Structure 1
């Protein structure tokens, strides 16, 4: 390769990096298309309004910033498209009864609309290691980040031994059903099993709960697999119990959960009255009201903290705690390593005494 060719290659790489949408600052996205997947699920196809390409890891999510009824609202949605197709980005949204954002998106977001997003974010990632035997376990709309992973592998014509077990309530709830059938037919190294938790006269496939015995029947080499799981919290709990019964080691297990309830954990009101939050970089101090979260304290002081699910799941509101103690009731939004490093989730943590945050 001569010097001129080398310069052109370097120049091209620099241009590509400039065009990549890969940082977590808010950016505009343009809705290009809306696809009806099932009776209550739609896929929204976006391009970057800045004419950039999307750069992310399969499994990650974006945070949507919306104005609904005059109020600012944020929500996290996993990316369902693969990073191998960088010109557009898909999110697949299930409409939930009473769901503010999912209902708004289904009823209002149309081709040509522009919204603000943050991303890519999240530590639930698939690296495609050649030594892996991936097992994807999805419950309901938890198939979305797994679909990004699966599409990445098939786009690359990977020869990895891949299994997907996808559980829904009924046949009408199967998202991407025709695509999954087509991929399984095209790639002999991909095994797809769909399971309905409820019996249905129109369903000839498997039914029941995905527990330990079922997993071992479907995947005899379960202990050799690297597991990527995503779904509602109750599904995830059953799954974790089943994998534990089957002897799967936690080092080969990766999960992303969503939904659920923090269980109505009552704050320690006495300590809350005597608590305060100090914001190191902002130089501000806030005396906490009973039950007030760190996120609420930050908002009351005008300190910006990015948020997503506000249930302790997504990890978007992760902040570094420099000193002090907090009471937290998160649902798995922090890894053990992040907790050891002093990070807390602002949406579901409450100060116990004086707390110093790196904000």
Structure 2
């Protein structure tokens, strides 16, 4: 599809994305490149994500993916994805998405970005496909052309499964201050490995970045991996206000913390109390118990609200409330300014009485 170079302004999610290439990275890993058919550039912050609407059998499926490209290269946008054994959306992308296919997307969104935490020295720690936001942040810094101070740590099962390895190693030869540290669990057959081997730990951290106490730390990967990194840093006296992580998994709280809160009376949603939700754009009104979330009620009423994590982190299910009240307990997927403007996260909001939504 030819691009319209006369289009003005940045891309918005009212326009579908066109897949222009699919590049295999390693087994079950691929980088998908999108462009806007209008030719509009993409505006986002390194580390943010987009949500794709995937036409899988049985209805659209919404999946959230971190952007792996850099905002310093605004004419295209890439995601780098890894299909797990139980993947549905990611497997559909790898098996079906081809150049010329159009997909709907919302975003960009997210607050896991170095732009929100400027620093002179960075420590990027990732595992597996958690490398994608680190790649975006590093590429943006690299494109500035100035010396930097980044210790870039990535953990993988084998050397051949380190995503972006060759690209990052090339970048490290062209800029001063980018130090790459690879950690693998096992060797590739017939391929000697002379780097770090085993599981990331405090000893490795001290060897890789002796000045870790002076760095701004960004971490992304499976929750057990990030928990190990948090515990390693906390045990070494790191200022955890300078630790930032990206996760689309529900935050876990130690049991000891759960029982320390004093008992307080709260006006919580009740199962025997009915609420009524008016979906204004569709003309649908639906009654449900207060304990049912707005997202669950919308699905029962046949109203489509895009969603990603379903526990208040990603912000994909953000909708504007025009009337009424909700009980919302989120995990950072919405800002106070957005709440003041009337927005809620449908996945973690319970209706109180009569509520009207602009959807």
Tell me the TM-score normalised to structure 1 length: 0.79
Equivalent residue number for residue 207 of structure 2: 217
Equivalent residue number for residue 297 of structure 1: 297
Q: Given the alignment of the two structures, is residue 309 of structure 1 paired with residue 315 of structure 2, yes or no?
A: no
Q: How far 1:190 sits from its partner (Å)? A: 0.5
Q: How far 1:318 sits from its partner (Å)? A: 4.1
The number of aligned residues is 334
Measure, in 2, the Cα distance between the counterparts of 1:206 and 1:260. Answer: 30
What RMSD over aligned residues (CA atoms) do the two structures have, in Å?
3.5
Q: How far 1:87 sits from its partner (Å)? A: 1.1
Q: How far 1:296 sits from its partner (Å)? A: 1.2
Give the helix-richer structure, 1 or 2: 1
Measure, in 1, the Cα distance between the counterparts of 2:273 and 2:87. Answer: 35
Equivalent residue number for residue 166 of structure 1: 154
Q: Which range moves more in the overlay, 178-187 or 123-132?
A: 123-132
The 8 Å contact of residues 135 and 162 in structure 1, kept in 2 or not, is answered as: yes
Q: Given the alignment of the two structures, is residue 27 of structure 1 paired with residue 15 of structure 2, yes or no?
A: yes
The 8 Å contact of residues 334 and 345 in structure 2, kept in 1 or not, is answered as: no
Equivalent of 1:62, from 37, 46, 50? 50
Secondary structure of 1:30's counterpart equals strand
Q: How far 1:261 sits from its partner (Å)? A: 9.3
Measure, in 2, the Cα distance between the counterparts of 1:250 and 1:152. Answer: 25
Q: How far 1:217 sits from its partner (Å)? A: 2.9
Q: Which runs of structure 2 are paired with 1:244-263 in the superposition (5 Å)?
A: 244-259=234-249
Task: Structure 1: give runs of 5+ residues left out of the alignment.
Answer: 1-14, 264-269
Distance 1:27 1:218, change over 3 A: same
Equivalent residue number for residue 153 of structure 1: 141
Q: Which range moves more in the overlay, 31-40 or 311-320?
A: 311-320
Distance 1:253 1:262, change over 3 A: closer
Q: How far 1:276 sits from its partner (Å)? A: 2.9
Tell me the TM-score normalised to structure 2 length: 0.79
Distance 1:176 1:355, change over 3 A: farther
Equivalent of 2:114, from 109, 126, 149? 126
Q: How far 1:354 sits from its partner (Å)? A: 5.0
Distance 1:216 1:354, change over 3 A: farther
Q: Deviations over 1:183-224 (max 9, x none)?
A: 222223111101113466643321222234432332121121
Q: Given the alignment of the two structures, is residue 43 of structure 1 paired with residue 31 of structure 2, yes or no?
A: yes
Measure, in 1, the Cα distance between the counterparts of 2:146 and 2:117. Answer: 11
Q: How far 1:226 sits from its partner (Å)? A: 1.0
Equivalent of 1:143, from 110, 131, 136? 131
Secondary structure of 2:52's counterpart equals strand
Measure, in 2, the Cα distance between the counterparts of 1:54 and 1:323. Answer: 35
Equivalent residue number for residue 3 of structure 1: none
Q: Given the alignment of the two structures, is residue 175 of structure 1 paired with residue 163 of structure 2, yes or no?
A: yes
Q: How far 1:170 sits from its partner (Å)? A: 2.0
The 8 Å contact of residues 232 and 258 in structure 1, kept in 2 or not, is answered as: no
Q: Given the alignment of the two structures, is residue 272 of structure 1 paired with residue 260 of structure 2, yes or no?
A: no
The 8 Å contact of residues 27 and 118 in structure 1, kept in 2 or not, is answered as: no
Measure, in 1, the Cα distance between the counterparts of 2:152 and 2:99. Answer: 32
Secondary structure of 1:68's counterpart equals coil
Q: Which runs of structure 2 are paired with 1:38-117 in the superposition (5 Å)?
A: 38-117=26-105
Secondary structure of 1:195's counterpart equals strand
Task: Structure 2: give runs of 5+ residues left out of the alignment.
Answer: 254-268
Measure, in 2, the Cα distance between the counterparts of 1:148 and 1:188. Answer: 18
Distance 1:259 1:105, change over 3 A: farther
Q: How far 1:47 sits from its partner (Å)? A: 0.8
